[in-house]
Amino acid sequence: MGNPRFGKSRKYVSVLSCVLLFAGLLAGCGGSNKNDSASPSASASPSVSASPSESASPSATESSKPQDKVTLSVLTDNSQDAVNVAKALMDAFHAKNPNITLEMETRPSGSEGDNFVKTRLSTGDMNDVFFYNSGSLMQALNPEQNILDVSNEPWQADVIDSFKQTVTMNGKLYGAPTNATMGGGWFYNKKIYANLGLTVPTTWADLTANNKKIKDAGITPIIGTYKDSWTSQLIMLADYYNVQAEDPTFAADYTANKAKYATTPAALRSFQKLQDTVGYMNKDYLAANLDSGIKMLAEGKGAHYPMLTFIIPTILQNNPESINDIGFFAQPGDNTDKNGLTVWMPSAAYIYKNSQHVDEAKKFLAFIASPEGMAAVGKVSQPTGPYVIKGAVIPDNVPQVVKDMLPYFDSGKTAPALEFVSPVKGPNLPQITVEVGSGHRKAVDAAAMYDKDVEKQAQQLGLAGW
């Protein structure tokens, strides 16, 4: 959609950039994955060497051997975090493979970056390795024609299955994860829970009961920040794990126009849960924005905030004294045994199918998809959730709220958000969810309206069945 992703100094600019990035991501059921928000116009940046200069790489007509001195070109988007991550991976890999030099090139983010990548692929001028979105945007790159199939690489055994879904097309795997995940669920204030004797809910009925007790105590049960309308989608979007648990083929059927939100009970339930929150939000929920919501949570003026875990760095920056008072749990379903987490997956590293240095590129992806690779990433990028590589450990200094997600990953109870496994999205979801959350539209009507909303986009994409 992760901001994903979420002060008035240079830090404020950094945080605001993240908020704008992920607000765009989520708009219209995510609009697209992480980098699908609007971003400042930028032309392709000149190449930046990420490791010591080496001799010129072999010509395109020469076949390289692993022991040869080779230069790999790596493309990433120009956001600071993406550049930091790419450089950390490239430096760490080069230190172990001094015969392979890696050169970084940056591109714009957002839709301009999407077009940049598509143009490079169509003209046959793509870098050896490129970092790009997982999920539906990857599928739009015609991977069978443009991206090297890495299904049979040994490192795939270390990638968790829920991520593999997001880089798979027609049964073939194409990418390696480049960073940590984000969770979509419920932040909660631990002090309020302790004072009222509440326990973390594992069913929707448990959560509703907690909300009633919190309201009776004179505290706002749910923080609403509908001035930033994209935040109204979180309850509906974070419910996808529960949809998949009840209807495992929903994503495929939805993409093929064989399933609808209004007529699929598990999917309709997502809108019904949002409807259940009416009357439990702060009085100014229509005027409150993301920043004020985070402040309410940190100061204990609201008990719950349905949100993405990208806000954790903002809490650490603006309310560091409160970070240990905040916890996180997955959006509950209706069955304790099926309680699990909806996850916003990281971008991936892909190998251009016509690269002249495939062996070296495969070696680089194997490093990325390793605990050592994720350790390099963790030194420059604060994780907002667990990694999707088995054995990769999040840094010890991450707050407990990040660690609260680990049990879902350890038990295999995670699912990618729908936008990562289906390209079908509607642009008007924020407006629809605002109406439901404010009590102006019933869930069943909203689901039918959203089913109608997605039709035009699905037809534009030329999807079969539409």
Average pLDDT across each block of 10 residues of the chain; the chain has 466 residues. List them in order. Answer: 37 42 45 34 35 37 59 96 97 98 95 94 97 92 96 97 94 97 98 98 98 98 97 97 97 96 98 98 97 97 97 94 97 95 97 98 98 97 95 93 96 95 92 98 98 92 92
Token pair 């999407």: residue: 114
Amino acid in the structure at residue 119: T
The answer to the question of residue 15 being in a domain is no
Tokens 């270390």: give the residue.
158
Is 367 found in the same domain as 245?
Answer: no
pLDDT in the model for residue 26:
54
One domain for residues 131 and 238: no
User: 441 in a domain, yes or no?
Assistant: yes
| CB contact at 8 A, 118 and 138 | no
Are 122 and 201 found together in one domain? Answer: no
Query: Does one domain contain both 306 and 380?
Result: no
**337 and 351 inside one domain:** no
- Judge whether 75 lies within some domain: yes
Asked whether residue 466 is domain-assigned, the answer is: no
Verify that 176 and 207 share a domain, yes or no: no
Does residue 351 share a domain with residue 391?
Answer: yes
Question: φ, ψ for residue 77 (rounded to 5)?
Answer: -80, 165
Q: Are residues 113 and 252 in the same domain?
A: no
Element (H, E) at 220: strand 220-222
Cα–Cα distance measured from residue 360 to residue 72, given in angstroms and rounded to the nearest whole number: 8
In this structure, the answer to whether residues 222 and 146 fall within a common structural domain is no
Q: For residue 251, give its domain range.
A: 182-343+424-460
Look at residue 425 in the predicted model and tell me its pLDDT: 86
**39-68 b/e with 16+ CB inside 10 Å = b?**
beebeeeeeeebbeebeebbeeeeebeeee
Judge if 104 and 148 occupy the same domain.
yes
Q: Whats the size of the chain, residue-wise?
A: 466
pLDDT, position 67: 62
**pLDDT in the model for residue 64:** 46
CATH number at residue 206: 3.40.190.10
Do residues 171 and 197 share a domain?
A: no
How many domains, the chain?
2
7 domain residue, yes or no: no
Residue 291 in domain: yes
Residues 6+ apart with CB under 8 A from 118: 140, 141
Domain membership flag for residue 6: no
Q: What pLDDT score was predicted for residue 460?
A: 87
Same domain? 174 vs 202: no
Q: Structure tokens of 404?
A: 């609260």
Q: 9 lies in a domain?
A: no
Q: Give the integer Cα–Cα distance in Å for 340 and 193.
A: 21
